[in-house]
């Protein structure tokens, strides 16, 4: 069975230096399921989200592999077609609500623009839909809010609006890029719950990028653990928390402070574990190099 | 990002070299004018009036860039005109730079009433159309090289003052300036050792830019017949004459204009290139 | 309340600046060595002529008294009488102002159009040859002042490929049915497109000469700001919604990049207006600047003073207008 999103053997590097960023990544996400992408910063988890949505920075080039969205290979269609496909079938919940809304545009058009411009809805239908989703994320007085500018709203409100905007077009896939990291701890929980509820209600596939295993345990069905651009473990949430297979995963799990034990502090991943992973990666790079022909 | 930076660096290198080459030619022409110009720039010969440049039909050998309506050799006049341009660029540019930078640093570093006074003066100066101000000053001071230089200094010091003041103000907020103060250095010493070196790249870039502007102002004043005495060949004077006879003799306008164009462009690009190369932050 | 206090303090500074300009013009003309009467009179004027003139223009009094008299007259709207034309300075100056305003505004429109287009193109094709080319063009545009552009344009469109008029404001053969000096504006109102074409043909080169340096500045600053803005989160979000790069630049980045550019362009626009003095001379365009140079050459003291003050008022007005536009366009200030 193939998922709504299928990433197969995706490798990417930095254009200038040739530094490897993603190493033959495989990810499968069936419709309506939630997969966490976990790893330390720089592990490439956000990079995968960006690749799926077609917004990789110009300096990053995909060397090989395919990204199938609803069965269509995004690498094989024209850039314009790719944009249209992604705009129609996927959406992003960004990390920082303070910078993800355009400060010089009112809230309303920032929700309805995709519906009207990309999906070809009428203005009236788009506005009705926007009011609907705003109500769904418990925004009071949605008519009034839609006329406001982003700076007139709090961070939590803005994140709700961004979530509403992501769900407005009923996408089959949503990429949530650390959607709670920039928020206050008290707001974090509400937002997380909100995303979970909406995902379940709309049956959306969700790719949840985070560094927080606690969040993964609450939201996700499956997860991929990344280290240095490589998926070191691909498993279900239950199995992962019961018995992580990979050394790095167990170390990561051990490093995460338990919510049950507030006294435990964040422990670093042991050095030996990191060395083992690095050796594995070097080995896979060496195996890959001759046929791929990439040179540092 | 890395790529972009590299290509900027390479482009600035070419800019720097090209402009340096033209400026060297310009300085050499000015210094060696009496020896290298093929004719006396003032010698009139009405029989040889409005000769076209050497490659156009009807040209006279020896007059490479043609002659003007009075039969004076255009090339020789351009070479001699470089002398005035160079003198104005160097003296007016440097004097303007010294006056403006000094006032700017005082305003930006000492703040208080000095800053208020200087900033108010700058505001007033900025409310004058500079060209009109220059013409007015020349009308009052009388024509001549000294007046032209004086007028440029009086008008353009604000250009330095504004930028240097802002830059000094920025630098004064930096930690190292604060620590110099804490260390007990005198204000003047802090200004000289901590702030000046950091403002200097900007000043140098502005200085070369100003040299180009000084050349232009002189040309503009010559153009309205208010600069140096009329028998001295200047680029502006040549342009003014060429403007009246463009349909009969385009070369009288084109060649001094090209000289002026390249000189002004080179001064500006040279300054920018220098700043990019020596700015401690960019480097 | 903040805004009100700011406005009042702005107004006070503006008045101080204008007063300073008045003082300086007055002092420059009278205190610096050189007898103002000698400046006014042709060589060989008799003693009696000199005395008569002195009394007429109040020059027999002390400079301080002269200033007070002149200044209080100015406050009553009396700028004195022009020496060369024997007409009231105010009417002379106001007669020429529209020509200069039309030229400046046309130049501004051209600068914004050229600079804006180049900035958007440079951002759209960033990191490619197009952007490198635009950078070179910007560098040249910034280094070469309007005077030289004017001369280059005369050669290009006046001699080499003579498609535009190179001197004057309007062809003398045309009968102008206008009631004001805003020829271009009136020709549009009265739908006299024949006259409008003639006006535009005269205006094209001087306006373009004035516009090019400003266009380069706008292009450079706006591109810098756009390139930053297209990488911000909301631009990335717009891309994921399916918008094209051009659309992201125009509707997401541009509205946010105009504001920071605008403040810097304000000062530059006053430089542009200052440039009209020599550009009008170069193209024999009958505006304020051309009249100013004539006034200096004719040693017409009252007229010089009047023109300089008018320019100063114009400059401060432009700065004020820019600030107001800024406040109006900035949603954060508008709704504060």
Task: Provide the shortest C-alpha distance from residue B110 to chain A (in Å).
Answer: 38
Contact predicate C175/C182, CB 8 Å: no
Cβ <8 Å between C252 and A113: no
pLDDT of residue A293: 40
Q: Check residue B283 and give its pLDDT.
A: 42
For each of the domains in chain B, give its residue range(s) and CATH number, in order of start. 2-39+68-278 (1.10.3720.10)
Residues whose CB is less than 8 angstroms from the CB of residue A90 and which lie 6 or more positions away in sequence, other chains included: A52, A53, A69, A171, A172, A173, A174, A175, C240
Whole-angstrom Cα distance, residue C293 to residue B72?
A: 29
How high is the pLDDT of residue B193? Answer: 81
Report which DSSP code applies to A140. S
With contacts defined as CB-CB under 8 Å, which chain A residues touch C331?
Answer: 103-104, 149, 151
pLDDT digits (tens, 9 = 90+) for A99-151: 999 998 999 999 999 999 999 999 999 999 999 999 999 999 999 999 999 99
B3 band by pLDDT with thresholds 50, 70 and 90: very low
pLDDT, tens digit (0-9, with 9 covering 90-100), for A23-67: 999 999 999 999 999 988 878 888 999 999 999 988 898 999 999
Q: Which tokens belong to A187?
A: 């707001």
Per CB-CB distance under 8 Å, the chain C contacts of A152 are: 335
Please state the rounded mean pLDDT for residues C259-273: 85
Report if residue C141 sits inside a domain.
yes
pLDDT band at A295 (very low <50, low <70, confident <90, very high): very low
Name every chain B residue with its beta carbon within 8 A of the beta carbon of A16.
Answer: 1-3
Domain boundaries, chain A: 5-256+264-287
> And the tokens for C185?
């504006």
Query: CA dist B227 to B242, B252, C80, Å?
Result: 17, 19, 29
Interface residue B146 vs chain C (CB under 8 A)? no
- List all residues of chain A from 136 to 195 with a beta carbon under 8 Å from chain B: none
* Beta-carbon separation of B1 and A17 below 8 A: no
| A/C interface, count of CB pairs below 8 Å | 74
Give residue-wise pLDDT tens across range C137-168. 999 998 899 999 999 999 999 888 888 988 89
Task: Give the ipTM of the model, two decimals please.
Answer: 0.88
Residue holding tokens 């220059």?
B134
Better-predicted residue by pLDDT, C319 or C333: C319
pTM as predicted? 0.87
Mutate to test the interface with A, among C131, C236, C242 (most CBs of A within 10 A): C242
Q: Which residues of C touch A104 (CB under 8 A)?
A: 255-256, 259, 331
How distant is the Cα of A258 from the closest Cα of chain B, in angstroms?
40
Interface membership of A277 toward C (CB under 8 Å): no
Written as six digits, the tokens of B113 are 């009433």
C220/chain B closest Cα distance in angstroms? 14
Are the C-beta atoms of B163 and B199 separated by less than 8 Å?
Answer: no
> What pLDDT shows up at residue A294?
41
**Structure-model confidence comparison of residues A187 and B54, the more confident one:** A187
Strand partners of residue A91: A174
pLDDT digits (tens, 9 = 90+) for A120-132: 999 999 999 999 9
Q: Return the higher-pLDDT residue of B96 and C39.
A: B96
Out of A100, A113, A114, closest to residue C233 by CB: A100
Query: Which of C234, C244, C335 is nearest residue A101 as measured by Cβ atoms?
Result: C234
| pLDDT confidence of residue B165 | 94
More confident call, C196 vs C66: C196
Residue C206 lies in a domain: yes
Q: A122 phi and psi, to 5 degrees?
A: -80, 160
Q: What is the pLDDT of residue C39?
A: 58
Q: Report the sign of the C-alpha dihedral through residues C134, C140, C146, C148, in that order.
A: negative
User: Which has the higher per-residue pLDDT, C159 or B280?
Assistant: C159
Question: Which has the minimum average pLDDT: B131-140, B223-232, C37-46?
Answer: C37-46
Q: Inter-chain contact C232–A86, Cβ cutoff 8 Å?
A: no
pLDDT of residue B11: 55
In a domain, C255, yes or no: yes
Q: Indicate the SS3 state at residue A21.
A: strand
Total residue length of chain B = 283
Amino acid C173: pLDDT: 86
| Highest mean pLDDT of the ranges C60-69, C73-82, C102-111, C254-263 | C102-111
- Tell me the average pLDDT across B67-74: 84
Mean pLDDT (whole number) for C109-131: 95
pLDDT band for C25, please (50, 70, 90 cuts): confident
pLDDT score, position A276: 76
Put simply, the answer to whether C234 touches A92 (Cβ < 8 Å) is: no
pLDDT in the model for residue C300: 81
Give the pLDDT confidence score for residue B8 in this predicted structure: 46
User: A77 CB near a chain C CB, below 8 Å?
Assistant: no
At A174-219, the pLDDT tens digits run 999 998 888 888 888 899 999 999 999 999 999 999 988 888 888 9
Contact C143 B136 (CB under 8 A): no
Share of chain B above pLDDT 90, in %: 39
Chain B residues within an 8 Å CB radius of C32: 140-141
Distance from CA of B139 to the nearest CA of C (A): 7
Taking alpha carbons only, the member of A89, A36, A76, A49 closest to residue A218 is: A36
Predicted confidence (pLDDT) at residue A1 exceeds the cutoff of 50: no
Range of the domain at C211: 93-297
3-state helix/strand/coil string of A37-102: EEECCCCCHHHHHHHHCCCCCCCEEEEEEEEEECCEECCCCCHHHHHHHHHHHEEEECCCCCCCCC
**What value does the mean pLDDT of chain B take?**
85
B283: contact with C, CB 8 A cutoff: no
Write out chain A residues lying below 8 Å of B3, CB-based: 15-16
Contact assignment for C234 to A102 by CB distance below 8 Å: yes
How close B4 comes to chain A (CA, Å)? 10
Cα–Cα nearest to C290, from C100, C84, C64, C89: C100
Neighbours of C326 (CB within 10 A): 16
| Chains with at least 3 CB pairs less than 8 angstroms from chain A | B, C
Contact yes or no for A31/A70 (Cβ under 8 A): no
CB atoms within 10 A of CB C86: 7
Of C139, C299, C308, the CB nearest to B132: C308
**Residue C217 within a domain:** yes
pLDDT at residue A257, as a whole number:
62
In angstroms, what separates the C-alpha of B219 from chain A's closest C-alpha?
Answer: 46
In chain C, which residue's Cα lies nearest the Cα of A82? C242
Looking at CATH, the fold of the domain delimited by A5-256+264-287 is given as Rossmann fold (3.40.50)
Instruction: Determine which helix (DSSP H) or strand (DSSP E) holds A6, and give its type and residue range.
Output: strand A5-14
Which residues from B are below 8 Å from A59, CB to CB? Answer: 1
Q: What phi and psi values does residue A9 have, to the nearest 5 degrees? A: 60, 40
Residues of C in contact with A151 (CB under 8 A): 331-332, 335
If you measure CA to CA, which chain A residue comes closest to B2?
A16
Between chains, do A17 and B3 touch, taking CB under 8 Å as contact?
Answer: no
What average pLDDT score do residues B184-195 get?
79
Chains with ≥3 CB–CB distances under 8 Å to B: A, C
Q: To the nearest whole percent, how much of chain A has pLDDT over 70? A: 90
Q: What is the pLDDT of residue C2?
A: 63
Contact residues, chain B to chain A, C-beta under 8 Å: 1-3
- Strand ranges of the sheet holding A72-73, from the earlier edge strand across to the other edge: A20-29, A5-14, A60-69, A72-73
B7: pLDDT strictly greater than 50? no
Mean of the per-residue pLDDT values of chain C: 87
Residue A98 burial (C-beta neighbours within 10 Å; 0-12, 13-18, 19+): middle
pLDDT of residue C1: 55
CATH number of the domain enclosing C133? 1.10.3720.10
For A2-17, what is the mean pLDDT? 88
Separation in Å, CA of A15 to nearest CA in chain B = 9
Q: Is A181:A95 a contact under the CB 8 Å cutoff? A: yes
pLDDT band at C265 (very low <50, low <70, confident <90, very high): confident
Return the pLDDT at A263. 47
Q: How many CB atoms lie within 10 A of CB B165?
A: 26
CB-closest option in B137, B141, B224 to C293: B224
Chain B interface mutation, best of C93, C123, C148, C228, highest count of B Cβ atoms under 10 Å: C148
Residue A172 has pLDDT above 90, yes or no: yes
C289 contacts B127? CB cut-off 8 A: no
What does the pLDDT read at residue C41? Answer: 63
Q: Among A83, A116, A181, A207, pick the best mutation site for testing chain C contact (most C Cβ within 10 A).
A: A83
**Best residue in A102, A147, A163 for a mutation probing chain C (most C CBs within 10 Å):** A102
Residue with tokens 């000096």: C181
Q: What pLDDT score was predicted for residue B55?
A: 81
> Which site among A13, A18, A57, A59 would you substitute to test the B interface, given the most B Cβ atoms closer than 10 Å to its Cβ?
A59
Average pLDDT over residues B125-153: 88
Chain A residues with CB inside 8 Å of C335's CB?
A: 149, 151-152
Please write the tens of the pLDDT for every residue from A240-290.
888 888 878 888 787 776 544 444 455 667 777 777 777 777 776 666 554
Residue B258 reports pLDDT greater than 50: yes
Dist CA B221 CA B244 (whole Å): 16
Is residue B116 very low, low, confident or very high in pLDDT (cuts 50, 70, 90)? very high
Residue A56, CB-side half-sphere exposure with 13 Å CA sphere? 23
Rounded Cα–Cα distance for residues A26 and A32 (Å): 19
- In chain B, positions 201-260, which contact chain C (CB-CB < 8 Å)? 209, 212-213, 216, 219-220, 223-224, 226, 239, 243, 246-247, 250, 253-254, 257, 260
From C332, which residue of chain A is nearest by alpha-carbon distance? A151
Q: Is the pLDDT of residue A296 over 50?
A: no
Collect all residues of chain A within an 8 Å Cβ-Cβ radius of residue C243: 83, 87, 113, 117-118
Residue of B127, B264, B265 with shortest CB distance to C17? B127
- The number of folded domains in chain C is 1
């Amino acid at each position: 069975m193939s998922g709504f999103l299928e990433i197969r053997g995706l490798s990417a590097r930095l254009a200038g230096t040739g530094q490897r960023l993603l190493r033959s990544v495989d990810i499968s996400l069936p419709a309506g399921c939630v997969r966490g992408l976990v790893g330390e910063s720089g592990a490439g988890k956000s990079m995968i989200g960006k690749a799926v949505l077609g917004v990789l920075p110009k300096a990053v080039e995909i060397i090989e592999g395919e990204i199938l969205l609803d069965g269509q290979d995004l690498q094989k269609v024209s850039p314009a077609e790719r944009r249209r496909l992604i705009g129609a079938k996927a959406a992003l919940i960004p990390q920082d609500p303070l910078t993800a809304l355009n400060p010089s545009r009112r809230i309303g058009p920032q929700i309805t623009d995709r519906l009207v411009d990309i999906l070809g809805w009428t203005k009236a239908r788009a506005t009705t839909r926007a009011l609907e989703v705003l109500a769904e994320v418990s925004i009071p007085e949605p008519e009034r809010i839609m006329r406001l500018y982003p700076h007139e709203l709090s961070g939590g409100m803005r994140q709700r609006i961004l979530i509403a905007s992501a769900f407005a077009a009923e996408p089959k896939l949503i990429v949530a890029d650390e959607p709670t990291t920039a928020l206050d701890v008290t707001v974090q929980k509400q937002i997380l719950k909100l995303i979970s509820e909406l995902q379940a209600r709309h049956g959306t596939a969700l790719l949840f990028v985070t560094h927080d295993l606690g969040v993964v345990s609450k939201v996700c069905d499956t997860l991929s653990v990344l280290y240095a651009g490589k998926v070191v473990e691909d498993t279900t949430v239950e199995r992962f928390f019961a018995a992580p297979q990979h050394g790095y995963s167990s170390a990561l799990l051990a490093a995460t402070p338990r919510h049950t034990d507030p006294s435990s502090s964040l422990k670093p991943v042991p050095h030996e574990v990191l060395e083992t992973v690095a050796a594995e990666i070097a080995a896979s790079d060496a195996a890959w190099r001759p046929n791929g022909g990439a040179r540092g | 990002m890395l790529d972009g930076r590299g290509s900027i660096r390479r482009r600035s290198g070419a800019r720097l070299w090209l402009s340096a080459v033209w400026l060297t030619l310009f300085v050499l022409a000015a210094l060696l004018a009496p020896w290298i110009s093929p004719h006396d720039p003032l010698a009139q010969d009405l029989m040889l009036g409005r000769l076209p440049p050497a490659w156009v039909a009807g040209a006279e050998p020896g007059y490479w860039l043609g002659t003007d309506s009075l039969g004076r050799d255009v090339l020789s006049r351009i070479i001699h005109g470089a002398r005035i341009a160079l003198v104005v660029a160097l003296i007016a540019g440097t004097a303007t730079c010294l006056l403006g930078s000094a006032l700017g640093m005082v305003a930006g570093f000492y703040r208080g009433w000095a800053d208020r006074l200087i900033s108010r003066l700058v505001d007033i100066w900025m409310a004058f159309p500079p060209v009109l101000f220059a013409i007015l000053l020349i009308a009052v001071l009388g024509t001549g090289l000294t007046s032209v230089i004086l007028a440029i200094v009086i008008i353009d010091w604000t250009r330095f003052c504004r930028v240097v003041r802002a830059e000094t103000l920025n630098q004064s907020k930096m930690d190292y300036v604060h620590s110099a103060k804490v260390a007990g250095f005198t204000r003047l010493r802090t200004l000289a050792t901590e702030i000046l070196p950091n403002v200097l790249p900007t000043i140098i870039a502005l200085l070369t830019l100003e040299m180009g502007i000084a050349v232009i102002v002189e040309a503009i004043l010559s153009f309205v017949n208010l600069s140096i005495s009329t028998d001295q060949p200047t680029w502006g004077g040549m342009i003014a004459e060429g403007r009246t006879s463009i349909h009969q003799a385009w070369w009288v306008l084109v060649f001094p204009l090209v000289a002026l164009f390249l000189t002004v462009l080179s001064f500006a690009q040279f300054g920018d290139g220098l700043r990019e190369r020596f700015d401690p932050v960019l480097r | 309340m903040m805004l009100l206090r700011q406005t009042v303090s702005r107004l006070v500074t503006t008045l101080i600046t204008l007063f300073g300009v008045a003082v300086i013009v007055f002092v420059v003309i009278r205190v610096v060595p050189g007898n103002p009467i000698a400046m006014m009179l042709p060589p060989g004027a008799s003693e009696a002529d000199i005395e008569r003139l002195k009394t007429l223009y109040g020059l027999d009094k002390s400079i301080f008294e002269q200033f007070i008299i002149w200044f209080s007259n100015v406050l009553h709207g009396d700028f004195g009488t022009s020496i060369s034309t024997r007409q009231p300075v105010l009417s002379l100056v106001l007669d020429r102002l529209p020509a200069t305003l039309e030229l400046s505004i046309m130049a501004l429109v051209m600068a914004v159009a050229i600079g804006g287009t180049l900035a958007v193109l440079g951002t759209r094709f960033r990191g490619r040859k197009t952007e490198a080319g635009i950078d070179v063009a910007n560098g040249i545009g910034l280094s070469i002042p309007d005077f030289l552009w004017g001369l280059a344009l005369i050669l290009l469109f006046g001699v080499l490929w003579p498609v535009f008029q190179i001197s004057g404001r309007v062809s003398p053969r045309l009968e102008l049915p206008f009631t004001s000096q805003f020829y271009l504006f009136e020709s549009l109102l009265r739908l006299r497109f024949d006259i409008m074409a003639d006006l535009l043909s005269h205006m094209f080169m001087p306006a373009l000469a004035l516009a090019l340096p400003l266009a380069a500045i706008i292009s450079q600053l706006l591109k810098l700001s756009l390139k930053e803005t297209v990488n911000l989160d909301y631009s990335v979000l717009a891309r994921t919604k399916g918008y094209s790069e051009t659309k992201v630049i125009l509707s997401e980045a541009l509205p946010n990049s105009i504001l920071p550019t605008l403040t810097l362009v304000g000062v530059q626009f006053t430089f542009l207006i200052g440039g009209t003095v020599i550009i009008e001379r170069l193209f024999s365009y009958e505006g304020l600047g051309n009249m100013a140079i004539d006034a200096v050459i004719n040693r017409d003291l009252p007229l010089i003073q009047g023109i300089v003050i008018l320019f100063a008022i114009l400059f401060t007005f432009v700065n004020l207008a820019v600030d107001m536009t800024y406040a109006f366009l900035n949603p954060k200030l508008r709704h504060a």
